[in-house]
Amino acid sequence: MTVLINADSRIMVQGITGKRGRFHALQMLKNGSQLVGGTSPGKGGEWCFEGRIPIFDTVRECVQSTNADVSVIFVPPHATADAILEAIDSGIKTIISITGSIPLQDMMTVKSALKDSDAVLVGPNSPGVLIPGIANAGIFPNNIAVRGNVGVVSRSGTLCYEVLDCLTQAGIGVSAAVGLGDDPIIGIDFQSCLELFEADPHTDQIVIVGGPGGDSEIKAANYIMNQVTKPVIALIVGENLASSLLRIFSDNRGNHYSEALKNKTKNLLEAGVLIAKKIDDIPPLINR
């Protein structure tokens, strides 16, 4: 694998007959991603997309029949933790949860299970992983990015689209884009993703897009300082917002963003990262 997925990845969709799962599975087929199967409990044995893609009752059967190694999850939030655990136990290596708003304690169960496994979880509430022109394991809009040497990792899905769109407009190509997911508790973080980009021969420079809440960008800054040799550019949104406003945003979700205003930008600057103040600042900072 290069960055989580590659041209040989065999992608399956959990929840392939639901409205979203079906729509985006079809997009994957259309954009040339290697979709091999899907699950929909009770519909095992049926086919979708004019007999092109087999449906299974369980992930186990899908893996046995299709050798799927990447799963993209579209099941409803209350069933998502179960779907992730099923994927882990069936030997899926890269699990991508598009579904978000997963109950906090369900995700704690998942995090505990991930510790004992070599599976990697991207998300929940992630747009997926995109290798432009090769595979779109998720819901990235078609043609949003072109092939190139810039790795992009973002906590927010929509900001990831914004950045990709901006790079494409500027004629800059992307090696891989990863949406970490907007939920309070997520699988891989900035640091793990930086490790993958650092090791990826197709990536020469890295863009990270962070936001309020959590320590993930600060951990990433420490890691960049000591372990990352490739140039890194960072955009941290929300730092200009007063803490009272951030509190308003965070309360409804029951999250605690008290640490939100830790100076992430300052830490990243000290680690030698180039800081973009807004999205349009990113292209000029990229080495062509």
Residues engaged in binding other proteins (CB under 8 A):
20, 23-24, 27, 77-78, 98, 100-105, 107-113, 125, 127, 138-142, 144, 154-162, 165, 182, 184-185, 189, 209, 211-216, 219, 237-238, 240-241, 245, 248-249, 251-256, 258-259, 279-280
8: phi then psi, degrees, rounded to nearest 5: -90, -5
- Going by C-alpha positions, the residue among 147, 172, 144 that lies closest to residue 2 is 147
Nearest approach, Cβ of residue 142 and other proteins (Å): 8
CB 101 within 8 A of CB 43: no
Nearest approach, Cβ of residue 41 and other proteins (Å): 20
Cβ-based nearer residue to other proteins, 46 or 191: 191
Q: Is 204 helix (H, G, I), strand (E, B) or coil?
A: coil
Match 């680690």 to its residue by tokens. 271
Cβ-based nearer residue to other proteins, 57 or 165: 165
For residue 257, give both structure tokens: 């963003």
Nearest approach, Cβ of residue 105 and other proteins (Å): 6
Q: Name the residue type at position 60.
A: R
Cβ-based nearer residue to other proteins, 219 or 230: 219
Nearest approach, Cβ of residue 65 and other proteins (Å): 28
Cβ-based nearer residue to other proteins, 82 or 204: 82
For residue 109, give both structure tokens: 């169960």
51: phi then psi, degrees, rounded to nearest 5: 75, 10
Q: Name the residue type at position 101.
A: S
Cβ-based nearer residue to other proteins, 77 or 173: 77
Query: Residues 24, 78, 202, 256: which is the catalytic one?
Result: 256
CB 128 within 8 A of CB 139: yes
Annotated catalytic residue 256: yes
For residue 270, count other CB atoms closer than 10 A to its CB.
13
Nearest approach, Cβ of residue 153 and other proteins (Å): 13
Cβ-based nearer residue to other proteins, 23 or 47: 23
**DSSP states along 107-173:** HHHHHHHHHTSS-EEE-SS--EEEETTTEEEE-PPTTS--EEEEEEEESSHHHHHHHHHHHHHTT--
CB 154 within 8 A of CB 160: yes
Containing H/E element for 270? Answer: helix 264-270
Nearest approach, Cβ of residue 148 and other proteins (Å): 20
d(CA 20, CA 69): 21
Residue positions annotated with a catalytic role: 256
